[in-house]
Chains A and B, each alone.
Chain A
């Protein structure tokens, strides 16, 4: 392990669904389970809400990895929308590869509202995995893509 990878603290953006994985994160909190402080969570109502743009935006904005999490297949609060997230996950994996980003920087995690421990453990594992991959030295100017214009495009 080089000096750099030892001290490298990856920044990870995590997408959680309101019903299972965000509550798993809450449970990890109320149970005072400890995990690595590298993940910053965004709450969506459902993992099905995850627009692949969000993931690419996170990478472009400087994140070293992205976590996508939702209810277990079959447990979706909205019938089966997490399956749609799963399909998009595989699609995004391929696109990332084409962009030259290791697929290990994108993780799909199913966690029910009762699985705080699993959520915490998996985050710590993921952080270690990304630490080994090193920083994502994506062209930092890409973050300078006029974001306002990009936003208008997607919301138009």
Chain B
């Protein structure tokens, strides 16, 4: 080593988070004494290294002692790496000459043996010191940001995000799989706890989206592929053939009036009503153009009919229309694809699908909606009988280790809303079967009290079974709900006319595939993982990809709106900066040592490596390189180096981590 580096080591107590398990003073003194050979000139410990006083400590040493390298032993680099890099930068040291090693997440928080944890901390610091010697000053790559944003999912979260960004003057592509935007909120009748009409507050926003000059609305479309990175994504979107020429269609509705084919609407009406083969999902749909459902349309099945074409006043029907594939370039992406309701068939003892008068919450929403299949009348499956007793089961598919362990968070309030609506419209007696009532948001607890005052019955217990097996007089023709009232300890059989299963929320069935398309991760349940559960709930581990609404976890409408707006704000902040700094972790080929074997060419999934036939060497395009380092590991000539994770950095880190081990073994040999 021609020039000796001057290294400063800073060991953080993190209050008692680290110091409670690791003997920080001992570690710091050890590093100052035993790592002198590696170039450590100062080693300090401090209560909170990330505090401004802690950072000043480092900055002072850089200036006064002329440190050329800094090692901070504290929390995970995913938390405070930027903090300490900035501190070094502030003192005139290149930020990439600072290494943060984790002795909290990887040591003090996961071990109880204080001696072992202290020894491990020493090893980790020795590894960091050995590594940091070989760090090179780097400059972040600056790339321009495309001001356009892609939003996937046109429910309330996606709508909110789209409007926020578009109103700020930036272009938005809003992609929705269904023929209309609106999402689940469009299906609901009332929203809790204020009981305002869901459509009345949602549809104006939908119309705004449809008319907004900055929003390109792509319904009946899906994102097939995403390439690129933050600032410069390229998305491939498949716009499914509507069989309708959008520019000619006026949305007059004659086609669906004349269409002879009735189809059960399993999507919007949750199987409670019918639509035609050519349809708009609901009257206020945005956009107003219908879709021909090719699976059910008589023309596509038998080759004849064409009633819609015959009657269309503007000749807007095009049976031969093909899918359109669009390529759009965007700088940021928001995923707001929402949830699937839990499939109540899975809990066989509740009899859904077998017992006619067992409903799911979504079915009830459609039934209670004035624009729904029953015109808002709450009636049993025969279509006319008004129920006299209604039982509502909470936590269906939630808080149950057999299905989903998590709380779906909205079902309590949804059930209370149902109870109120049933009572208001039918005067029926209502039973709520609950495990716990959870009403944690503004105005929710008050709504619960209102329901208590209205005389609704609350029985604390998980329903064991819903059956039609009559055992006692008075149970004939009824559904019997078997439940243990856990407050009194009594087994109850409650005969009801109608049972409503308040089903929980689940990740979309295809959420894993979607996560893969966008390069983000799912939790074990299938919800998308945010960057930080408390401090960064809308960003993801993938720069430039944000999440909003139920895709991140179960939540109600206000929370979805908040997340949509938050994701939009984050993106607008990025766009305003006009360019973005990327980590300069890239591979480079040394043309002198490259043998031209081309092994690396096939290793790169981003096609960042090209081969020059004339000079017979490979070259990495830094704009395409994502920095994974696979080519570095694969190069048989060692001609590729990976910035920030070079061979010598890693090998030295191994040396450092094993420093103590090696000493011990040597002792054993000489002894």
Contact = CB atoms under 8 A, between A and B. Distances in A.
Interface in A59-82: 61-63, 71, 74-75, 77-81
B634 A41 contact: no
Nearest to A62: B661
19 contacts: A26-B76, A26-B102, A29-B104, A29-B106, A30-B109, A32-B110, A40-B124, A42-B650, A42-B657, A44-B629, A49-B642, A51-B633, A78-B626, A84-B634, A113-B521, A114-B529, A140-B665, A153-B638, A155-B647
Interface stretch (B113-121, B498-506, B555-563): B113-121
B541 A156 contact: no
Contacts of B519: 77
Interface residues of B, number: 64
B626 A75 contact: no
Interface in A4-37: 9, 11, 13, 19-20, 22-23, 25-26, 28-30, 32-37
Given A114-B522, A143-B662, A61 B650 contact: no
Given A37-B117, A40-B120, A62-B665, A45 B658 contact: no
Interface residues of A, number: 62
Contact of B107 (A11, A37, A48, A114): A37
Nearest to A44: B645
Contact of A61 (B116, B630, B633, B658): B658
Given A26-B105, A42-B657, A61-B661, 9 more contacts: A19-B541, A26-B106, A34-B110, A37-B107, A48-B633, A63-B661, A78-B605, A81-B628, A112-B522
A124 B157 CA distance: 42
Contacts of A28: 105, 110
A130 interface: no
A115 B107 contact: no
A22 B124 CA distance: 15
Contacts of A48: 603, 628-630, 633
A150 B647 CA distance: 11
B123 A40 contact: yes
B520 to A, nearest CB: 9
Contacts of A88: 633
Given A9-B116, A78-B605, A147 B105 contact: no
A55 to B, nearest CB: 9
Interface string B92-106: 000000000010111
Nearest to B118: A37
Contacts of B627: 45
Nearest to A10: B661
Interface of A: 9, 11, 13, 19-20, 22-23, 25-26, 28-30, 32-38, 40-46, 48-54, 57-58, 61-63, 71, 74-75, 77-81, 84, 88, 112-115, 120, 140, 143, 147, 150-151, 153-156
B632 interface: yes
Nearest to B76: A26
A11 B521 contact: no
Given A29-B110, A40-B127, A62 B662 contact: yes
Contact of A51 (B522, B593, B632): B632
Contacts of A35: 110-111
Contacts of B107: 37
B105 A61 contact: no
A125 B629 CA distance: 29
A125 B111 CA distance: 15
A50 B78 contact: no
A43 to B, nearest CB: 7
A61 B109 contact: no
A81 B605 contact: yes
Nearest to B605: A79
Interface of B: 76-78, 102, 104-107, 109-113, 116-117, 119-120, 123-124, 127, 515-516, 519, 521-524, 529, 541-542, 585, 593, 603, 605-606, 626-630, 632-634, 638, 641-642, 644-648, 650-655, 657-658, 661-662, 665-666, 669
A44 B662 CA distance: 23
Contacts of B522: 112, 114
Nearest to B638: A154
B654 A13 contact: yes
> Which of B109, B113, B641, B651 has most A Cβ within 10 Å?
B651
B633 A37 contact: no
B111 A114 contact: no
Contact of B647 (A20, A25, A140, A151): A151
B651 A54 contact: yes
B602 to A, nearest CB: 10
A45 B654 contact: no
A74 B379 CA distance: 48
Contact of A50 (B515, B633, B653): B633
Given A26-B76, A58-B658, A114-B529, A151 B652 contact: yes
A84 B630 contact: yes
A29 B109 contact: yes
B651 A154 contact: yes
Contact of B116 (A29, A37, A71): A37
Contact of A34 (B111, B124, B650): B111
A9 B661 CA distance: 11
Given A48-B630, A51-B632, A151-B647, A34 B521 contact: no
A22 B521 CA distance: 13
A71 B116 CA distance: 28
A51 B633 CA distance: 4
A75 B76 contact: no
Contacts of A34: 110-112
